[in-house]
Amino acid sequence: MKIRHQFGLFAFIFGTYLGFMYMFLTELEPTLYDVLSEAFSNINHLPFNVSDECIDVVRYLDPGGDPKVVDLFLNKHAGKYPYIHLINYPNAVRVFHKMYHVLKHQFTFKRKVFELASQFVDLVGLDLQYEIPNPIFVGIHVRRIAYDHHLQITQNGSLVEVEYFKRAITALQDSLNLTNENAMNRMVFFVTSDDEKWCKRVFFDIEAVLFFPSDFYRKMPVVSKAHFDLCIMSLCNHSIYDYGTFGFWGAYLAGGHTILAHNIGTGNNTEVETIKQANLPNWHFIDAHPPPVEPKPDYSSLYRRV
């Protein structure tokens, strides 16, 4: 089960929020517990199997991105329905960001994952110690495989191209230079992706110091690749990503400045909107695609042949 696709990941987070803010007891289904506890060491909720009695009295809640919906629901059903089943895709960033420090503790990577990712970061630092003695690490996550169709059907959108990441790097440099004028020369980029071949083919002409953590991972594949990549992103100072929940969580756990895409298509992007509603500090949105080039006007018809 892929961690980036875990509706249950958000359900767990939201359930933790309910417990943190409303004193609900958060319970995990065994499958979700197995997925989370494989990556993180502080998942302290024991798994349980839902009984028929519980199913008979459960109330279903789709929190969406609006905390008012949650407050109204809980006030209406407080004391009446002791069991709540979170449904759909509760990526309610605006809601659970209130307990960011709790999430950071819950999502502490297991020691073997953290040590492998830290080893990679330390080796890069040693390799660059004379060229860039005090590097600023930036995680770049690129989501591509099987995602074009998803963007088309959900928002009439399409995959970004390499020029998006070039603009994103410039946007991040501009953002950081507001407080650190030397940031541009100190930035080191770690590129993670589900399509590494594409990245290596098109990123070669980006004028930046780039590393692909997967090259290191293949020498010691002792943990899940997804967990390794996510931990690498969380160890970075700042983040760039295009779209998708994997990129979001890497950036969210890292903190710092984040550049991400919006206006991906003509349809509504609920994922982007929930992030915007959260008003996360130092999160900056840039267009997924460059503006279309307008054709030059043809004035030839205005001139009469002699």
pLDDT, tens digit, 9 for 90 and up, residues 283-294: 999 999 998 777
The two tokens of residue 277 are 């509603």
Same domain for 67 and 216?
A: no
Residue 54 lies in a domain: yes
Residue 302 lies in a domain: no
- Percent of the chain beyond pLDDT 70? 70
Same domain for 63 and 138?
A: no
CATH number, domain containing residue 230: 3.40.50
Residue 133 lies in a domain: yes
Task: State the residue for tokens 């069991």.
Answer: 83
Residue 299 lies in a domain: no
**pLDDT given for residue 11 in this prediction:** 53
pLDDT band at 269 (very low <50, low <70, confident <90, very high): confident
What is the C-alpha separation between 80 and 74, in angstroms, rounded? 10
How many domains are contained in the chain?
Answer: 2
Residue 74 lies in a domain: yes
Q: Kindly report, residue by residue over 206-255, the tens digit of the pLDDT.
A: 989 999 999 999 998 899 999 999 999 999 999 999 999 899 999 999 99
Q: What is the domain range of residue 122?
A: 111-287
| pLDDT over 70 at 23, yes or no | no
From the centroid of its chain, how far is CA 291? 25
Q: What is the mean pLDDT of residues 111-134?
A: 96
Which of 65, 87, 106 represents a domain boundary (last residue)? 106
Query: Which residue type sits at 275?
Result: I
Contact criterion met (CB below 8 Å) for 44 and 16: no
Residue 297 lies in a domain: no
What average pLDDT does the structure give for the chain? Answer: 82
pTM: 0.84
Residue 65 lies in a domain: yes
What is the C-alpha separation between 47 and 58, in angstroms, rounded? 18
Task: State the residue for tokens 């953002």.
Answer: 175
pLDDT band at 14 (very low <50, low <70, confident <90, very high): low
Residue 295 lies in a domain: no
pLDDT band at 113 (very low <50, low <70, confident <90, very high): very high
**pLDDT given for residue 8 in this prediction:** 46
